[in-house]
Every structure is written in C-alpha cells, then in structure tokens.
Amino acid sequence: MSSAYAPPLQEIEFVLDTVARLDELASLPAFAHVDPDTVKGALQEAGRWVSEIVAPLNHSGDRQHSVRHPDGTVTTPDGFRGAYQQWVTAGWGSVPFPTEYGGGGFPWTVGVAVHEMLASANMALSLCPLLTQGAIDLLLAHGSDAQRARYLPAMINGEWTGTMNLTEPHAGSDVGALTTKATQDADGRWRVSGQKIFITYGEHDLAPNIVHLVLARVPDAPPGSRGISCFAVPKRLINPDGSLGQANQVTCLSIEEKLGIHASPTCVLAFEDAYAELIGEPNRGMQYMFTMMNNARLSVGLQGVAVGQAAYQQAVDYARERIQARTLDPRSTAIIGHPDVRRMLLTQKATLEAARALVYLVAGALDQADSHPDQSVRDEQHELVELLTPVAKAWSTDIGVTTTSLALQVHGGMGYIEETGIAQYYRDSRIAPIYEGTNGIQAIDLVTRKLPRRDGMVVKELIARMAEAERDLAQAEHGLKQLTPALSDALDALTQATEHLQQAQLEDKLAGASPYLEMMGLVVGGWLMAHEAMAAQHQLGQTTCHDEAFLEAKLVTTRFYLRQLLPKARALLPAVIAGAGDLMEMPPEQF
C-alpha cells in the first residue's frame, strides 16, 4: 500500500548549486575532473536505480528481518544481496574516495547526495555502505601504507564491508569505560578479546569479508579514553597474495530484536583471541575516531532528512487521495484541502528542506576544508564544519522523527496500521537521534567544545554571516522583504543565548545545551531557507534548469518557515538561559 519513492532530484540539485556550491567545488584543483553536469547526470542514474531496485525491498525487508542461524551466520532479507551486488558493480560507494585506491575522486558532497537517495529508499540497507565508509575514512587517515593497500581497494569498491566496534554493555556514551583487551603474541602479532554490542552489519551475507575496526585496551594503557587503541580485525584473514584465508575468531552471538531498521543486523560480537592489526599508535584510538566523526555524524544527520523525505512523499500521496469531510478548497475534495493537513505537510516540507540545506552546507564545507588550495580557507571551513556538525547530526535526526510522526498523522488511523508502510519510517527514523553519539551528547559537544573555539569567534562569525543575509533579505522581492523581522528576531535570540552560555557555569551550560542546539538548528535552517529563496527569486523568469513551479514553491515554503516555524527560536531562550536550578533541584527519588 505504500507509495513509491521518487528521488527529489530538482531539490537536491538546487541545494547542490545554491548551498553546497558544486560549481566552486568543481573548480578546485583536487576536483579538476569533476563537471557539475556530469555529476547531475550520475545522480539521476543513482536516483533511478534506488527507486527501481532498492526501494521495493524496504517494506519486505522490514517484515522479513535479518536472521541469525545457529552456526552464527546471518542472512539478510530476500533481494538484499542482489541489490548490494549492483551497488558494488555500479561503484556508487566508491564515489567520494581517492582514485589511488580505486575511488571516483568526487567531492564528499556528491557522495552525500547518493547516500541521501539510498537511505530514503532503504535505510536498513544503506547502513552497510555507511559503516564501511566510516571504516574507510579511518584507515585512510591513520592506516599504514601496507594496511591501506591491504584493505582499502576492496572496501572502497564494496567487495568487503566495514564496521565500527565501540560499544560494550557498560560503555555506551562513555566509550572510555570499555574493557576489550588487546595483547601481543610472542611473535608480536596482536590478539583482541572481548565482547561488543550493537554492531551494525557485524555479520551478514552481503560480502565475503568484513573489516571490523575495534577499540580495545593494550596492556598498561592509561584509564579512560586516553588508553584506547584501534585495531583492524578482519572476519577472514588475508593471505600475502591478497586472497582470503582462514576465518578469524569473531563470532556473532546474537542479533537484536529492534523497534526499526529490522533488515539491518545489529550484532553482539565476541572476539576471542582474534588476530588484529594495530592502527597507528597505541592509546590514540579515540583521537583517530574523532577524525572520522564529522563525516559519520553528518551521514547520520542525513538519515533524518532522507527517511523524513520518503515519509513526506507518502503522506502527500495519501492526502491527495483520502476523502474525508467537505473541504473549503475548491481545488481538492481530498484531505489535502484541509488547512490543518496542509499545516502538517508544509511543516514537513519546510523543515526537511532546511535540514537538507544544513547537511549539504556542512558537506560542502568538509570538501573545502579538505581540498581548498588556500590554508586560510581550509582553516575557516574546518571551523565551520566543527561548529555545525553536532547541529547537523542532532537537529536533522530530531526532525527525522518529528516529520515521520507527522507523515503518520496525515494517514489518521491507517498510519498506525503496518500495512500502510508509513509506520516503518517512523520506527526506522527513531534510532538516528541515538547512535553515533546521542543527541544529548551532540548538544554538550556544541556548548562545551565548539562554542569556545577561537575565544568564541567562530560562532560569532557565523552569526555575522547570517546577519549579512538578513540585510540582503531586506532588499528582496516576492514577499521576501517582509520576512526580515522574523530572521532578525531569531538572530537576536541566538546571539543572546550564545553570549549567555559563553559566560555560564558548566552545570548551567549543560542544562541549556539541548534547547540551544535546537535553537541553532532552527536559525541556521532559517538563514539557509532565506538564502535559497533569494536564489529562487533571482532565477524566476530566467532560463534555468529549475522550473517556475519549483521556484515559486520554494518561496512559499520559505515564507512559511520564517513566519511560522522560526519564531520558536525565541521561545527556546528561557530554557537555554534558565540554568540547572529547576532541573537539579528535586532529589532523584521524587521523579
């Protein structure tokens, strides 16, 4: 009963052009071979493939689940193997990686666009390449030449997959509490022993080998996160000629029964004296994790947008068909004619567009930070990435939950019935605020580590940049000028909140962290929507690749966001500045 996913290519291309600035990225020497038109052609092909091959497996995969067998092997749902093989053959996973190891050498931003469509079509399947991407990033940054040569070509082309093994039963957000051990043989080879939980695609049948990146402690390691080392532990050992050798001592003990992403096997893995290779130096594992964390967190933020988008499309289809009570809208007898249903749909559309813009802004900045020839530009873009990554992760995944919930609500009682398929999006999206650092941890990172950067100047410069757009908006046409006070007020609230938190005591900062992150997401989203609307206004009446109806809709969506959603930014101010008093006053037993 669920409707087909149609990739929002026009919207993705518009954001690539106006927010991520694909043309500027393509002009960097590192991307000399990248032509924006070719990129758009490739995205259309990726969109066609995900909608025809991957999306039809989404609901069947949810019903069938991945299954663990008594011998510890895991089978993914019907059709997953074939679809994954096509992903490998087409080379979609290799798009953003260096050509030296068989990658496409494209900007990270292009890979983000491919991943958005894959995750919309089938979030559970998309997690396998996503985790592989994280493992590749870490090996690229910290693996030795020999390790890169051994692992990267097969991982980049997707022939082998990768996992990230941090979590243990008593070590979740507090990764430093982990106890998995690594010891050295008499011949100097490392062996890892311990148990990891919640390992995404820790065992599966999509590929013959899995490269587990495992955090463990070497003998005499300092306590906490300063004593964590990173190891590569392949499921099957690799012979000197590159062929696969014997099985390593890694066992999938069980897979979790979950709320959503049923097709993604979430494994308990036991490592029993498993052969391992140390990555980099001992006790620097957490530091290494941080280097790939921005990319990984951004990819999870993208999941919020992607799943929200798929649910939104289905809600629109349903609202166009379901007839219930006479509407006051002469254009439609279906529920899409009711203002309250319109509110639900427009809230989804507007917040998803704002969150997508935020994610693609950070993706473009990541590319500039990695590849711009000018060091000062690289530094500036890196600072922007650092500041906005926790917001892109947490705000976008919270939006994933609120928009899928609204999409379900549009279906009325049928939304609560699994047959409709909409409930799956709601269930699937719920994990994204939890993994890759809970959203609470993201907010704490924002206020304690990111706001103080360069004596508070990084956030101040971002606010100043947003204030410039406010001045441009005041000159704009098509009803955009009237939105200036809304953006000004939100920026004023963000400035007050920021200055307050910069002076606050630690406990008060921690208390205000989550509402502050939400405020920052709303305001940055408003700024980017205003920026997009000004670009749309400029393109109206000109010959562009975007049709007039799309550009007009962008203006309406922006007006709705700035006038009706953005004012919540000021409403969050009391919660940001209240301090820890009310929260911490009651003794725990009174809850």
Ligand X SMILES: Cc1cc2nc3c(=O)[nH]c(=O)nc-3n(C[C@H](O)[C@H](O)[C@H](O)COP(=O)(O)OP(=O)(O)OC[C@H]3O[C@@H](n4cnc5c(N)ncnc54)[C@H](O)[C@@H]3O)c2cc1C
CA-only gyration radius of the chain, Å: 24
Which residue from 520, 541, 554, 526 is spatially nearest to 469, judged by alpha carbons? 526
Q: What is the dihedral of CA 280, 284, 289, 290, to 10 degrees?
A: -120
**CB nearer ligand X, residue 21 or residue 196:** 196
Of 408 and 431, which has the nearer Cβ to ligand X? 431
Tokens 């101040």 -> residue: 460
d(CA 136, CA 241): 21
CB of 430 to ligand X, least distance (A): 10
- The residue among 93 and 265 lying less far from ligand X, judged by its C-beta, is 265
Residue 473 near residue 481 (C-beta atoms within 8 A): yes
Minimum Å distance from CB 203 to ligand X? 12
Q: Nearest approach, Cβ of 382 to ligand X (angstroms)?
A: 25
The least CB distance from residue 267 to ligand X, in Å, is 9
- Angular region, 273: left φ>0, alpha ψ -120 to 50, beta rest: left
Binding site for ligand X (CB under 6 A): 131, 164-167, 172-173, 198-200, 258, 266, 431, 434-435, 438, 440-441, 444
Task: Return the structure tokens found at 126.
Answer: 């998309």
CB closer to ligand X, 177 vs 463: 177
Residue among 531, 519, 367, 386 at smallest CA distance from 458: 386
- Of 436, 470, 518, 532, which is the active-site residue? 436
The residue with its CB nearest to ligand X is 172
Check if the beta carbon of residue 119 is closer than 8 Å to that of residue 126: yes
Q: Which of 383, 367, 365 is nearest to 30 (CA)?
A: 367
Q: Which of 253/441 has CB closer to ligand X?
A: 441
**Nearer Cβ to ligand X (20/182):** 182
The tokens of 402 are what?
């609120």
**Where are the extended beta strands (E) located within 153-283?**
161-165, 181-184, 190-200, 210-216, 229-234, 236-238, 244-247, 250-255, 266-279
In the bound complex, what is the minimum distance in angstroms from residue 10's beta carbon to ligand X? 33
Say whether 436 is catalytic.
yes
Residues 6+ apart with CB under 8 A from 243: none
Residue 186's CB is within 10 A of a number of other CB atoms, namely 5
In angstroms, what is the minimal distance from the CB of 224 to ligand X? 13
Question: Residues with catalytic annotation?
Answer: 436
